[in-house]
Structure 1
Amino acid sequence: MTANNNSNNNNIIDSKYPKIAIPLVPISRFLIEKLRFHSSKTFLIENETKNTYTFNEVADDSLRMAHVLSTNGLKEGQHFGVCGHNGYELITTLIGGLIVGGVAVPINADTSVDYNLLSQLTISSLPVTGFNWCSTDIVLNTTPLTHINGLIQLFSSLTTGSQFVVIKNNLLTNSAHLCEAIEEWRVSAAMFTPQTIIEMIKDDHLEPITIKSLRKVICTGSSLPKNIGHKFVTKYSIQDFRQSYGMTEMCGFVTIEPIGSSDNETCGIPVPSVSIKIVDTDTDIALGAAQVGEVCVKSPQLFNGYLTTGASNGGLSEELVDAIDSDGWFHTNDIGYYDRNHKLQIVDPIDDFIQYRGLHISPTSLEAILLSHYNVKEVAIFGAFHRTYGQTPTALVVLKKSDDNNNKSLINEDDSDMTEVLKHFINDHLMQQKITVEELYIVDEIPKTISVAVSGETRRLKLFAESICEKQECNVKCVNNGYADGVCKSGETVNFCVCGDCVPQKCTDSCVKDHMKGTCEQKIDGMCVCN
Structure 2
Amino acid sequence: MIIKNNVVHGGPTLSIPAHLSYGKFVIDKLIEHNADENKIALVHGDVGEKTTYREILKYVVHTASGLKKLGVKRGDIVALCSENRLEFIVTALAAICCGATITTLSTQYTKDENKHVLTISKPSLLIASEEVLKQNFSIYKEVTYIKKFIQMNGKPIDNGIIAYKNVCAQVDAFDFEPEEVQGATDTLFLLYSSGTTGLPKGVMLTHVNALYAAANSLRESLAPESQSRSCHLTVVPWYHAYGLMTTINNFIIGRMTVYFPGFYPEKYLKAIEKYKVNVLLTVPPMIVFLTKSSLIEKYDMSSVTLVWCGAAPLSADTIRDVMKRLPNCKGVLQAYGMTETSTSATRDPERDTTKHKPGSGGTPLPGVRVKVVDVETRKKLGPFETGEICIKGPVVMKGYIGDKAADRDIMDEEGFLKTGDVGYYDHDGYFFIVERIKELIKYKGHQVPPATVESVILQHGSVAECGVVGAPDEWAGELPTAFVVIKPGHQLTERELLDFTASRLSPANRLHGGVIFVKEIPKNPSGKIMRRILKQRLQDKRKSKL
Indicate the larger mover: 266-275 or 344-353.
Answer: 266-275
Contact 2:457 2:466 in 1 (8 A): yes
Task: Report Cα offsets for 1:177-208 as digits up to 9, x if no partner.
Answer: 32222122211112211221111101123217
Task: Report Cα offsets for 1:41-72 as digits up to 9, x if no partner.
Answer: 11111112221111121111111211222222
Does residue 146 (structure 1) correspond to residue 221 (structure 2)? The answer is no
Task: Report Cα offsets for 1:106-126 as digits up to 9, x if no partner.
Answer: 112232334255643544522
How does 1:188-267 map onto structure 2 within 5 Å?
188-207=278-297, 210-237=300-327, 238-259=329-350, 260-262=352-354, 263-267=357-361
* Alpha-carbon distance change, 128 to 158 in structure 1, aligned in 2, over 3 angstroms: farther
* Alpha-carbon distance change, 53 to 328 in structure 1, aligned in 2, over 3 angstroms: same
Which of 439, 455, 480 pairs up with 1:368? Answer: 455
Does residue 55 (structure 1) correspond to residue 70 (structure 2)? The answer is no
Indicate the larger mover: 438-447 or 259-268.
Answer: 259-268
Amino acid at match of 1:60: K
- Secondary structure, in 3 states, of the residue corresponding to 2:12? coil
Contact 1:217 1:241 in 2 (8 A): yes
Indicate the larger mover: 431-440 or 32-41.
Answer: 431-440
- Rounded to whole Å, the distance in 2 between the matches of 1:432 and 1:136 is 44
Report how far residue 7 of structure 1 moved.
Answer: 2.6
Report how far residue 98 of structure 1 moved.
Answer: 0.2
Contact 1:305 1:322 in 2 (8 A): no
Amino acid at match of 2:16: I
Contact 1:426 1:437 in 2 (8 A): no
Q: What is the aligned residue count?
A: 443
Q: Which residue of 2 aligns with 1:160?
A: 253
Q: Which residue of 1 aligns with 2:13?
A: 19
- Rounded to whole Å, the distance in 2 between the matches of 1:70 and 1:180 is 41
* Alpha-carbon distance change, 325 to 432 in structure 1, aligned in 2, over 3 angstroms: closer
Which of 359, 374, 378 pairs up with 1:280? Answer: 374
How does 1:491-510 map onto structure 2 within 5 Å?
497=543
Amino acid at match of 1:228: T
- Rounded to whole Å, the distance in 1 between the matches of 2:449 and 2:85 is 37
Q: Which residue of 2 aligns with 1:3?
A: none
* Coordinate RMSD, CA, aligned: 2.4
Rg comparison, structure with higher value = 1
Task: Report Cα offsets for 1:332-362 as digits up to 9, x if no partner.
Answer: 0000001122110000100110011111101
Contact 2:482 2:511 in 1 (8 A): no
Q: Which residue of 2 aligns with 1:308?
A: 402
Q: Which residue of 2 aligns with 1:398?
A: 485
- Rounded to whole Å, the distance in 2 between the matches of 1:76 and 1:434 is 52
* Alpha-carbon distance change, 336 to 208 in structure 1, aligned in 2, over 3 angstroms: farther
Which of 474, 477, 489 pairs up with 2:541? Answer: 489
Which of 54, 66, 69 pairs up with 2:67? Answer: 69
How does 1:89-488 map onto structure 2 within 5 Å?
89-112=87-110, 113=113, 114=117, 115=192, 117=202, 119-123=204-208, 125=211, 126-129=214-217, 131-132=220-221, 133-134=226-227, 137-168=230-261, 171-172=262-263, 174-207=264-297, 210-237=300-327, 238-259=329-350, 260-262=352-354, 263-308=357-402, 323-402=410-489, 410-411=490-491, 418-430=493-505, 432-433=507-508, 435-454=510-529, 458-459=530-531, 461-465=532-536
- Rounded to whole Å, the distance in 1 between the matches of 2:379 and 2:509 is 30
Contact 1:465 1:498 in 2 (8 A): no
- Secondary structure, in 3 states, of the residue corresponding to 2:105? strand
- Rounded to whole Å, the distance in 2 between the matches of 1:249 and 1:327 is 17
* Alpha-carbon distance change, 51 to 121 in structure 1, aligned in 2, over 3 angstroms: farther
- Rounded to whole Å, the distance in 2 between the matches of 1:434 and 1:134 is 44
- Rounded to whole Å, the distance in 2 between the matches of 1:387 and 1:136 is 54
Task: Report Cα offsets for 1:379-437 as digits up to 9, x if no partner.
Answer: 110011112111111101111123xxxxxxx34xxx6xx12211222223336557443
* Alpha-carbon distance change, 431 to 32 in structure 1, aligned in 2, over 3 angstroms: closer
Report how far residue 453 of structure 1 moved.
Answer: 3.0
- Rounded to whole Å, the distance in 2 between the matches of 1:61 and 1:321 is 41
Amino acid at match of 1:280: D
* Alpha-carbon distance change, 338 to 310 in structure 1, aligned in 2, over 3 angstroms: closer
Report how far residue 134 of structure 1 moved.
Answer: 4.2
Amino acid at match of 1:243: Q
Q: Which residue of 2 aligns with 1:37?
A: 32
* Alpha-carbon distance change, 388 to 181 in structure 1, aligned in 2, over 3 angstroms: same
Task: Report Cα offsets for 1:492-522 as digits up to 9, x if no partner.
Answer: xxxxx4579xxxxxxxxxxxxxxxxxxxxxx
* Alpha-carbon distance change, 309 to 257 in structure 1, aligned in 2, over 3 angstroms: closer
Amino acid at match of 1:369: V
Percentage of identical aligned residues: 26
| Runs of at least 5 residues in structure 2 that lack an aligned partner in the other structure | 118-191, 194-201
Report how far residue 86 of structure 1 moved.
Answer: 0.5
Amino acid at match of 1:44: L
- Rounded to whole Å, the distance in 1 between the matches of 2:317 and 2:464 is 16
TM-score by length of 1: 0.78
- Secondary structure, in 3 states, of the residue corresponding to 1:227? helix
- Rounded to whole Å, the distance in 1 between the matches of 2:229 and 2:308 is 17
